[in-house]
């Protein structure tokens, strides 16, 4: 899963800039609202909402903002009606891309996504054209500068993790989606601070890209994530040095 991690790291550094512009908060609020709408406002019985709230807290979102987003989702407060839409396509180098959006205007969103893909030499695909290349997994990230690798690996496996990867300044721990919160709780009980947790679409196989193709791909992925309606982007790429 090294390619996934490398793209994850690109996103990690970019997230700091997003937060300054407020774009990151907007996406987090939409996810909280949708999670509450679909599964209710109690995070203890709604894993998706719990994950969204934990992500918002990690981004230092004020408690009042989180509570308002939950209430909009449950209908206690009036809010915009968003729909979940997943788009599939290909980017430079034949890399498969999954784009997850929350939108109040699907026509606008698909037009924006198609434009970005087309300009980069990619194309929008039909439903299920690339989704079969990915699988849903829970992923947890630890700051590798804080914990010895052997100890973190043992703790992760003891907690029920499926996989463990050391990637530069972070450890990536992969779990079954349903078991992610259990693994997180077990790690935190042992004193490990989880920097980030998410349910991610992890590629089953990777396409290697480098040079100008990699540059074009990274630019496209960043531009897609910058779209207001786009929540997440997944790609089956391994970005290699030239």
Correct CATH for 134-203 of 3.30.70.980, 3.90.180.10, 3.20.20.140, 3.40.720.10: 3.30.70.980
Averaged pLDDT for residues 114-120: 96
Residues 6 or more apart whose CB falls under 8 angstroms from that of 36 comprise: 46, 49, 69, 70, 71, 72, 73, 74
Nearest Cα to Cα of residue 50 among 181, 160, 167: 181
Nearest Cα to Cα of residue 197 among 187, 184, 182: 184
pLDDT level of residue 1 (50, 70, 90 thresholds): very low
pLDDT level of residue 11 (50, 70, 90 thresholds): low
| pLDDT score at 73 | 96
The 8-class DSSP code of residue 120 comes to T
CATH class of 83-132+205-237: alpha beta
Under a CB-based contact definition with an 8 Å cutoff, are residues 116 and 81 in contact? Answer: no
Same CATH topology for 83-132+205-237 and 134-203: the answer is yes
pLDDT level of residue 3 (50, 70, 90 thresholds): very low
Averaged pLDDT for residues 31-60: 95
Least confident of 6-10, 113-117, 121-125, 136-140: 6-10
pLDDT level of residue 180 (50, 70, 90 thresholds): very high
pTM (predicted TM-score)? 0.86
Instruction: Tell me the pLDDT tens digit for each residue of 58-109.
Output: 889 999 999 999 999 999 999 889 999 999 999 999 999 999 999 999 999 9
Residue entry with tokens 């897609």 = 224
| pLDDT score at 239 | 84
Least confident of 12-16, 147-151, 231-235: 12-16
Residues 6 or more apart whose CB falls under 8 angstroms from that of 107 comprise: none
Where do the domains of the chain lie? 2-74, 83-132+205-237, 134-203
| pLDDT score at 23 | 80
Correct CATH for 2-74 of 1.10.10.410, 1.10.10.200, 3.40.50.1820, 2.20.28.10: 1.10.10.200
**Within the chain, how many helices (H) and strands (E) appear?**
8, 10
| pLDDT score at 169 | 85
| pLDDT score at 19 | 52
Residues 6 or more apart whose CB falls under 8 angstroms from that of 21 comprise: none
């Amino acid at each position: 899963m090294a390619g996934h991690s490398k793209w994850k790291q690109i996103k990690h550094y970019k997230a700091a800039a997003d937060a300054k512009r407020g774009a990151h908060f907007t996406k987090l609020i939409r996810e909280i609202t949708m999670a509450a709408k679909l599964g209710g406002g109690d995070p203890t019985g709604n894993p998706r909402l719990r994950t969204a709230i934990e992500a918002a807290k990690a981004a230092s979102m004020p408690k009042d903002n989180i509570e308002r987003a939950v209430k909009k989702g449950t209908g206690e407060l009036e809010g915009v009606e968003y729909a979940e839409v997943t788009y599939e396509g290909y980017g430079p180098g034949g890399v498969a891309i999954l784009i997850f959006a929350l939108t109040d205007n699907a026509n606008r969103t698909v037009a924006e996504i198609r434009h970005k893909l087309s300009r980069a030499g990619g194309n929008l695909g039909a439903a299920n054209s690339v989704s079969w290349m990915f699988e849903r997994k829970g992923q947890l990230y630890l700051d590798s500068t804080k914990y010895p690798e052997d100890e973190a690996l043992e703790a992760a496996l003891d907690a029920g993790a499926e996989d463990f990867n050391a990637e530069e300044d972070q450890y990536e721990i992969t779990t079954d989606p349903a078991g992610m919160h259990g693994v997180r709780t077990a790690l935190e009980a042992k004193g490990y601070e989880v920097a980030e947790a998410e349910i991610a679409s992890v590629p089953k196989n990777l396409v290697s890209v480098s040079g100008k193709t990699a540059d074009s791909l990274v630019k496209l992925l960043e531009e897609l994530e910058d779209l207001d309606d786009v929540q997440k982007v997944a790609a089956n790429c391994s970005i290699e040095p030239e």
